[in-house]
Amino acid sequence: AVAAELPAASLAALMAQAGVEVHRDLPVDAAGGNNPTVFFPQVVGADQAWEQNIRGRGVVVAVVDSGISDKFSWAENNTIARYDALDNGPKRYDAYGHGTYLAGIIGSRRHDDNGYAGVAPRVKFVDVRVLDESGSGNYTDIVEGLDWILANHEEYDIRIVNMSIVGLVDRPYFANIINQAVERLWEAGIVVVAAAGNGGVTESSDGNTPMTISVPGNDPFVITVGAFTDNFTPADMSDDYVAPFSGAGPTEMGFVKPDVIAPGAHMISQMRNNSPWAQSGSAEHITGHWWQSAGTSAATAVVTGVAALILDANPDLTPDQVKYILMAEAAPAVYEDGSLAWSIFQQGAGRVWAPSAIAAVDGVDVATIPSANAGLIAGEPFAGPVVFRDGEFHFVDEHGNDLLVDGGYGWAGGYGWAGGYGWAGGYGWAGGFFDEATGTTWTGGYGWAGSVNDWQEWPAEQVWLSGYGWAGGYGWAGGYGWAGGYGWAGGYGWAGGYGWAGHLSLAQANN
């Protein structure tokens, strides 16, 4: 081969010579171009779903947040409708940056060396803007946005709502108007995925502080997502751990939360470089319009993407069935003796895993797939099966009697671990979160003795005291606005060696 610079007039004569081929010296880019390589789709097995041509095709996701930018082709070309609930001047697609960042995690079609930069790259978006340029919103705007989704979900075939926003808990979940709107969506057949919140680290705790689940994640009729980190080793599960900032349960009404955990640290996605959220210090600039941040907001977007893959595989599933499958096929972190490395109030059912969740529904008759929230009815008040007594959380029946004599789920708080565990399995869930011996489900509950209005509002720093409720001991951290965009720069090391695998039964979770 010979390389040469020739005037254009000489090319025709050269190409006419026998045995000579002329090729333009075209520029090339490294694989992935200017796109940084992201790993979270591989951490949850989304790439294995792509190989089966399951990529979220036909699934529409409503992102309830600060908006979705029109700058990026993957966002603009795949956003089929927009609604601005703020009504505060000229329409702004995303004046903050948070919503675009999340949409990219859910379903960006940009390519990198690993494949796609989003979990479900064939989803369509509906942009529901409820947060302003400071990342703040109020109940009026959020309820308006959710009610618009309810009124228009059939027209746009909305199947999932992503709510990476958090609000302060100041009353029972069923008396909160955001949760009431969310339950109407769930009842209409729309999966709602919500953040656990980033309140795990407080002045009195270095991580996963009990009872720090935010609104609307404290509602049983959502899929509540906590965060773990792959510790910058995405191919090695053995050093992954639950992020200390991730909000922990139980909820104020005694429900086990989060439901599952997903990658939520050093998460890379796109937003405009001049976005206020990008400039706030909550995100780190990588290259171009790519930014890195952390939080349960990002973890929620990952689970929204996995839920879209599940609905691509089986569009007939109900929200309760999607929640059941995500939990039943999750993998908790356990020690070699079978005890939990983290309480279920920290890791829920465990880390989501798309391949097994898809395998459990692909081509399966939905009539044979169980549902979460057994015995619960949206719009009615319920209490969960957990109470705080004698310095620990206990599972009880509707009469307050312990369901587990050994207090197998007892947890007095704290974040420490002894190491030497894995995300390991062989623990048949018998329903994903069900104990045949007691008939207890994590997502079940008991009818509230009073009415929806039979409660008194309590201060943010005080746990609600009721006939069923809490004996005290853990106060509310409070102070979290609706942005859900609390960044985390990392820095939590891990020297252990454990794995993630399999599933878990109620009686075996004894940490």
Catalogue the active-site residues. 65, 98, 297
DSSP per-residue string spanning 458-509: --TTS----SSS------------TT---------------EE-S---GGG-
Q: Vertex 321, ends 267 and 328: CA angle to 5°?
A: 65
Report how far residue 10's alpha carbon sits from residue 7's, in angstroms, rounded to the nearest whole number.
6
Closest Cα partner for 270 from 280, 255, 285?
A: 285
Q: Which residues of 334-367 are buried (b: 16+ CB within 10 A; e: fewer)?
A: bbeeeebbbbbbbbbbbbbbbbbbbbbbeeeeee
Per the CB < 8 A criterion, the answer to whether 301 and 262 are in contact is no
Tokens of 216: 């609307």
CA distance from start to end of the chain: 68
Q: What is the CA radius of gyration of the chain?
A: 24
Rounded (to 5) percent helix, strand, coil in the chain: 25, 20, 60
Going 452 to 456 to 457 to 463, the CA torsion angle's sign is negative
Closest Cα partner for 193 from 341, 38, 298?
A: 298
Closest Cα partner for 256 from 213, 216, 205?
A: 213
Task: Report CA-CA distances (Å) from 410 to 200, 248, 389, 464.
Answer: 18, 14, 10, 20
Provide the CB-side half-sphere exposure for 366 (13 A, CA). Answer: 13
Closest Cα partner for 504 from 384, 331, 266?
A: 331
Residue 118 CA, distance from chain mean position: 14
